[in-house]
Structure 1
Amino acid sequence: MNMEMRNGTLEDVEGMMQIINRARNKLAASGSPQWSDEDTPKEEDIRREVEKGNNYLFTINEQIIGTAIITNEEEPAYSSIRYGDWDTSQEDNYATIHKFAINPDINGKGYGKMFMKLLLFMCEEKGIKEIRIDTHPKNRAMQHVILSAGFKFKGIIQLPFENGERYAYQLFLT
């Protein structure tokens, strides 16, 4: 078995969108409104992030099983947080993980945790010290992946659309 994490290419976009759409359907079936309306990852957004070099894929035997985006652009929704606060004692700049998805056909095998660890290792290698991530309160599977990676719950943010409430998490890499 050959596992790899690599940057996505434009040729990979169709495979990424298949995984995102399957994950979106699984979220809906679980009762989570995440990725259901305005926040659905759109192909043009994925293409733009691929072109910027911000998209990462997790593959097994060259088959895409996971996709995520890491940006170091400030996230406007993170400027206001309720029921908590960001720890700003260590860094001013942070990277954010977005649109993390694993093919739901293979859920429950630890691939989400493995992909997250690879993403964090890559961030550390690039000198990134702080990572932030968010997910919908009903997305229990993603919460499990996030907490298993060592992130700490910091509060609740609101994205600018209906059902935009998200649990926000932070991790400092050493």
Structure 2
Amino acid sequence: MNCEFRQARPADMEMIWTIIDYAIRKRKAEGSDQWQDGYPNPQVIENDIMQNAGFVLVQDGSIAAYAAIVKNQEPAYEKIQGKWLTDGDFLVVHRIAVSSEHGGGGIAGKIMGFAEAMALRQGIYSVKADTNYDNAAMLRTFDKRGYKYCGEIQIRGQFRMAFEKELAYIHGS
């Protein structure tokens, strides 16, 4: 299986939105209120792309998933009810969405792995993320990848579970 993780391009927008829209509908069908408030929307994704924060996972030539990855940019994380593992620089992963054709194949875990490698290449030793309490797929992904529950944060009026993985410094990396 050929897999590439790269920055999203404006030309990817239609496929990215198809994936995001599928994820929104899937969360609703599961009875969740996550992503049921008009967020994310096409403008959010376009902004991610324009700020070089949007990334796609391309598998066998087609876009299989989308995520936004930014450095130190999540104001809600400053007001955690709990405690982060680290206080330094971090990458944050948001808006992970997997296409209907690729669900259940460990794609979200691959995205988290790419984010971790990206962090290490930048000399950053922490990756943070959050999710709804009822997002079983992401909770499993965080558990499998060794993320630790750190507390609650509030985004757009909703409490969410916050996780962090402290990355080990590997000499020569």
TM-score with structure 2 length normalisation? 0.90
Comparing 2-11 with 124-133, greater Cα deviation is found at: 124-133
Distance 1:128 1:102 in 2: 26
Give, in angstroms, the shift of residue 49 of structure 1: 1.4
Equivalences for 1:1-174 in 2 at 5 Å? 1-38=1-38, 40-82=39-81, 84-88=82-86, 91-161=87-157, 164-174=158-168
Q: How far apart in 2 are the matches of 1:3 and 1:93?
A: 28
1:5 Cα shift? Answer: 0.7
Q: Assess, with a 3 A threshold, how the Cα gap between structure 1 residues 75 and 107 changes in structure 2: closer, same or farther.
A: same
Q: Distance in 2 between matches of 1:139 and 1:133?
A: 13
User: TM-score normalised to the size of structure 1?
Assistant: 0.89
Give the conservation status (yes or no) of the 8 Å contact 1:26–1:104: no
2: CA distance, partners of 1:28 / 1:106: 19
Change (3 A) 1:27 1:62: same
Q: 1:129 to 1:112 in 2, by over 3 A?
A: same
CA distance in 1, matches of 2:29, 2:101: 14
Q: Secondary structure at the match of 1:15?
A: helix
Structure 2 CA distance, aligned partners of 1:93 and 1:137? Answer: 26
Work out the CA distance in 2 between the residues paired with 1:154 and 1:48. 28
Q: Is the 8 A contact 2:90 2:119 kept in 1?
A: no
Aligned length: 168
- Tell me whether 22-31 or 108-117 shows the greater mean CA deviation: 108-117
- 8 Å contact from structure 2 (residues 67, 93) kept in 1: yes
- Rounded to whole Å, the distance in 2 between the matches of 1:158 and 1:135 is 10
Q: 2: distance between equivalents of 1:58 and 1:2? A: 10
Write out the 4+ residue segments of structure 1 that deviate beyond 4 Å after TM superposition.
Answer: none
SS of the equivalent of 1:74 reads coil
Contact between 2:115 and 2:127, CA under 8 Å: does it hold in 1?
Answer: no
Q: Distance in 1 between matches of 2:7 and 2:108?
A: 17
Which secondary structure does the structure 2 equivalent of 1:69 belong to? strand
